[in-house]
Amino acid sequence: MNTLFKIVILLFLLSSFLYSHSAKKKSLDKHVHGISTLKIAQDGNIILFEFEMPGNDIVGFEYLAKEKEDIKKVENAINILSDYKNMVIPSGSGECQIDSYSANILNEGKHSEFLSSYKFKCKKIKDLKIIYIKFFKNFENGNKLNIKVYGENKKSVYVINKSKKLINVKNHF
């Protein structure tokens, strides 16, 4: 594995760790309602998925939840995000098992963003061909998902909408 690729993976994994453990410190980047991001990175037999989603796409608002009804929506969203099966499922060919996950909300002024990450260990990562995308099924306000895949063998960018339910990752890992 080349050195540059290892550095990119290390930075990606580090950023995921920091986001999940220090949500108060991240400054929110500009985002467009309806458009979320998914980053997929490989490190050996590990595959990491990281979602960044505007609060409006997840709960229908961007402000800090204070009312009972809004707090309940945020709690429900965190519960949905905490189960990887609601977001992504690697096909069985890679024999991947969930290792860890995190789900958080970041609030800054009048903006909020949900972050979730899922770490899988795969016995046959080279055989992984398809990743099922479940995001749109659970969050109807999402219209588009920008996906970046960083595999040891191949890197790709995808833009999918509600009609697409899977991405082909054959030969990436």
The verdict on pTM exceeding 0.85 is no
The least confident of 11-20, 42-51, 109-118, 143-152 is: 11-20
Which pLDDT belongs to residue 156? 96
Q: Which residues pair with 120 in a beta bridge?
A: 47, 98
Q: Which residues pair with 47 in a beta bridge?
A: 42, 120
The pLDDT tens digits of the residues spanning 144-172 come to 999 999 999 999 999 999 999 999 999 99
The pLDDT tens digits of the residues spanning 91-132 come to 999 999 999 999 999 998 888 999 999 999 999 999 999 999
